[in-house]
Every structure is written in C-alpha cells, then in structure tokens.
Amino acid sequence: MTTAPPADGSTVTTAVAVTTARSRRRSFRPRRALLGIGGIVLLLAVWEVVVRAGLIDARFLPPPTEVIPRLFQILGLADFWVAVGQTLGQWAAGLGIALVLGCVLGVIIGLSPFLRRATHSTVEFLRPVPSVALIPLAVLLFGVRVEASLLLIVYAAFWQIFIQVLYGVADVDAVAMSTGRSYGFSTWQRVRDIVFPTTLPYVMTGLRLGAAVALILAITAQLIIGTPGLGQTISQAQNGGQYATMYALILATGFLGILINAATRVLEKALLSWHQSVREEAAA
C-alpha cells in the first residue's frame, strides 16, 4: 500500500515558489513586448521611406529622423510640461465630473424600471450626437475658456460611463436584491453591498473608455477653440510653419494616451483582482 508524501514545510515552500515563478512568467511576456516594439519600428521605417522617396512632400511631413530628435528637444522645455499639465488638468476634471454623473444617474435610472422606460428615447437621441457638434454651443456659453473644454469632455465621457453603469445595474441578481429587502437592507445598503460589487467591472470598463475619449476631446477643444494645452500648442506650431515641432507634439499626445490607458488598466486590475475576468486574463 502506498502512502501520500507528508505535507511538510519544504513541500509548501516549493509549491509557493513554483506558483510565484509562473505568475512572473505570465506577467512578463517578452514576445508580446517585442511584437509591439517591432510594429512601431516598422511604422517609423515606412514613414521614413515614403518621405525620402518623395511620395509626400517633406516640407509638410518631415521624416521621423527629424521629428523624433525634435520631440526629445521639446521634452526639455518648461512650456511643453506646462501644456501637458493644462491638458491633464482639463482631462482629469472632465473625466471626474463624468464619472460621478454617470455612476449616480446610471444607478438611479437603472434601478427604476419606470425611469429606464421614460428616459430610453432621450438617451438614444442624445448619445449619438458627436461632442464636436457642441463646439459652437460651448463657445457661445463660455468663450475661449477652460469651461468650454470641460463641456465637451464631460458630454463625451459621460455616455461611455453611463451606458456601462446601466448594463451593470441590469446585471444585478434579482434574487440577491429580494434577499436584501427580506433582511431589511435600506436602499443605500442594497446599492453598497449588492449593486456596487456587480456594477464595478462595468464602471471600470466605462472609465477606461471614457478616459481615452476625454483625452481626445481635450486635445480637440484646445485645437479648435483655443483653450490652453497641448492642442493649442500644436495649432500654434502649425500656424508658424514648424511642422517638425507639430508632429513631435502629436507623437507626445499619442504617448500620453498610451500612459493613460496603461494607468487605467493597472487601476482596473487592482480594484478587480477578485473578479473572474481579471483572474482569467492573468492566467492566460
């Protein structure tokens, strides 16, 4: 008759070490990183070849060998970081307002069948309206001020979050809600202990989408309206014929978007470490 090996301390330590090593291998995927870098290098190479071959006038689209050095020069300028701070300030303020409004209204309307039916047509009418179509309204109301940018950012990001919250509230287990009522839970307790955990993954998805849209609208408002920030700096470089600087600033906005997306991903994984979707992604 065979006996199972004893579960001594060495066995447990070995199991923990193996699990940790596997987690590190999963978290670091060199092949994926190399593929991403390779794609960027390929894009830059195509850009360089197209310009050097004369297919595009180099006066209006300088090659990356001119744009990238200019980008590093810009990174050392104080005015650039001031513009970045202005853009991030408008982005954060607009996204924060949209997050609060989207979550509060989404929960209130989502929990009420009457309100969902009453607002359905209005939501479906307003949601497809492009935020840039509100630029004339924003200028008329606020002129060339930060409030004009905030109006566009809030409007665009709000729908991303609000719709996701509605989906999350609709996904709440009706049996759990009935059980909460049976145990005498107040409305706030049901929202906190039942609705919020179910809706949180949807909120994080809406936040990630809204963060990207908010950055796009912040830059757009600065470009068109002229509110201070990276968009205004890009417009000034274009008007001054400084095309290498203009494209360097455009690349900077792209890198800023990548950083924002990475930050929201990290926040999502931190807040949803208990959720099945995050565990499955980590195990993949």
Q: Six-digit token pair at 9?
A: 């301390």
Q: What's the half-sphere exposure (Cβ side, CA atoms, 13 Å) at 128?
A: 3
Closest C-alpha to 66, from 277, 240, 207, 248: 248
Domain ranges in the chain are: 10-56, 68-283
Residue 122, both tokens: 């209005």
Q: What is the CATH number of domain 68-283?
A: 1.10.3720.10
CA distance linking residue 211 with residue 204, whole number of Å: 10
Query: In the block, which residue shows the tokens 């906005």?
Result: 253
Residue 196 contacts residue 183 (beta carbons within 8 Å)? no
pTM score of the predicted model: 0.81
Tell me the Cα Rg of the chain.
25
With CA atoms as reference, report the closest residue to 153 among 174, 134, 128.
134
Contact 229, 218 (CB under 8 A): yes
Closest CA to 208 of 279, 249, 269: 269
pLDDT tens sequence for the chain (284 residues)? 444 444 454 444 444 344 444 444 444 467 777 777 888 888 888 888 988 888 888 888 888 888 899 999 999 999 999 999 999 999 999 999 999 999 999 999 999 889 999 999 999 998 888 888 899 999 999 888 899 999 999 999 999 999 999 999 998 888 888 888 888 888 888 888 888 888 999 999 999 999 999 999 999 999 999 889 999 999 999 998 899 999 999 999 999 999 999 999 998 888 887 766 665 555 55
